[in-house]
Amino acid sequence: MKQQAGDSQPGYPDGTQRERVPVLIFDESEQLSLQVARRIANLIEERNAVGDSLVLGLPTGSTPIGVYEHLVRMHREDGLDFSRVVTFNLDEYYPMSPESLQSYHRFMRENLFDHVNIPAENIHIPSGEVPREDVEAWCQRYEFEIQKAGGIDLMLLGIGRSGHIGFNEPGSGLQTRTRAIVLDEITRKDAASDFFGDDNVPREAITMGVGTILDAREVILIATGEHKAPIVCRAVEEEPTKEVTAGFLQLHRDATFYLDRAAASELTREKTPWQVRAVEWDEALAKRAVIWLSEKVGRAILRLEESDFHRQHLHSLVSVWPDTDALCRKVFEDLRRRVAYEEELPRDQKVIVFSPHPDDDVISMGGMLDKLVQNGNQVTVAYMTNGSVAVFDADVRRYLHFLEMSLPELDGHALEEAVSDLRNSLANKEPGQIDSPRVQRAKAFIRYAEAVSAIEVMGLGREQARFLDMPFYQTGMVRKNPIGEEDVRIVRELMDELSPDHIFVAGDLSDPHGTHRMCYKAIAKAVTSYHSDHGLELQPTVWLYRGAWQEWEIDRADVFVPLSKADLARKIEAIFKHESQKDRAMFPGAYDAREFWERARDRNVRTAEALNALGLPEFYAVEAYVTVAELP
């Protein structure tokens, strides 16, 4: 049932009246990247046609990589000519060698400059090697070079989780110019994954200022992923302040935010669209509004009254569903039917649990995994990457101590030689340096052994664990290669071998290092191929879970799995087996000091509390899942 209802907003039929800067929303990040690349390509072609140069301001980080990939493809396949392009990069760590793995000089070469024909003399990147006493003068020259080039025509930006653009941390003012700056704690924690620990992240950087950025003729800010949604909302819908420097783009004459739907999810027009525009009230949107109303007024769904709808300006919903009691019962029953007890879950079937890292299975769906085993399913846990970059050197040394103490009994010369080689590799390693292949493998085996120990808590063993060790991950760095045919083949062959009735896939795509998103992409391609070859008769049910970073929203979840206190305790016990990730994980994320087991516990308990507040049974804890016929 779909009807148009609600009060229209003059001048804002799309519900953008709370947005203080133009925003374009794309269903997928790939669409966003292509659109931005096309905009840049069009500007290049326009300038080339009249023999003029185009001056670009460019960022680094994971967000613009898709844009750079499209530009490289356009150069190779379509002959896009970059010979008149002039570039100025936003920032660089200080101090930083241009050859360092974490250097933005190296990042730009690897992702763009080595693959297009921009003349070397046209490329400008802040230097991380300037003597400290010369930094101020160097920054002034950088500003002069920008002006000498005629100013920046198009500035491309990302946004940090503290709301910074460039490295303009909270507190940066409108008039700031290129300068050295001390990095914010959140920024350093976000960068920790690239440096193998936040202790190795430089304390300072050189960055263009807010004023420099606002001088550009056009600005495009791109943001993807649910983890960017809260700060994007602040930058777009709140008054600009020094606390969120991206908000200053509201003052620019031609600035636009390009967002994927995940990054836009906290904007009013996406989260609660009925507050800003006339909406088409279908059952899904009505359900979301009723849940929102229940949470807003603090009463269970079945205790809501018609007056509550009117007080919260849901007149249009009442006009479509005048019997609000019936609507509330409908939403309540819909939620109640989504609660799946153990006897309602799959039984005696074949299941593959795809775990991006060797701990995502128990952190994200340890309760479900336990119940699947109890129900007699043939469960295989496929660990897609080895997780080696998230292991501290100290963990390797701990196991080396064990081996060295055991060597007299083992009496193995080859083992003694291997231990010596590992110890020397660790001793000679510089901060942030890639591990040697042997150290990487040792760290992988640490994660593998922990994974097996964890699923043993659930009644599984080594024979139920598959370690896929997908090639895209095998860089030795946090920055990974793109998903390739070999990655997809590995997933597809496992599906062909096991013919699963159900597959579980990580649906939280906002892990700080992007591995979940890349694993999802590989699985989606493999599933599409599998469907194409086998048809509907072998089409598995796809379950999407979320993990340490977030949980499915109540209105979006298809299945709620209740956990008793004992169930949750067993899940936590399994998480504890991942000792290398306990107490102090390598990549905990910027905002959350809790350990992963605490996040899992608190998330599951909060979901139960949210359902209880809506009037459902008072469970101890709950895991939530979304089921889909195919992966988008």
Catalytic residues: 169
Give CA 167 to chain center in angstroms: 20
- Label the pairing between strands 465-467 and 502-506: unpaired
Structure token pair of residue 625: 């899942």
The C-alpha atoms of residue 313 and residue 461 are separated, in whole angstroms, by: 55
- At 417, which helix (H) or strand (E)? helix 413-427
* Residues making up the chain, counted from first to last: 632
The C-alpha atoms of residue 215 and residue 206 are separated, in whole angstroms, by: 18
DSSP secondary structure string for all residues of 359-395: THHHHHHHHHHHHHHHTT-EEEEEE-S--GGGS-HHH
Structure token pair of residue 92: 């660089």
Helix (DSSP H) and strand (DSSP E) numbers for the chain? 20, 19
CA 414-419-425 angle, to 5 degrees, is 125
Measured torsion, CA atoms of residues 571, 572, 576, 577, in degrees rounded to the nearest 10: -10
The C-alpha atoms of residue 561 and residue 338 are separated, in whole angstroms, by: 9
Residue type, 269: R
CB 250 within 8 A of CB 174: no
CB 163 within 8 A of CB 157: no
Nearest to 152 by CA among 213, 110, 61, 62: 213
Residue in this structure with the two tokens 């997928």, named with its chain if needed: 28
- Label the pairing between strands 350-355 and 502-506: parallel
DSSP E strands, 286-329: none
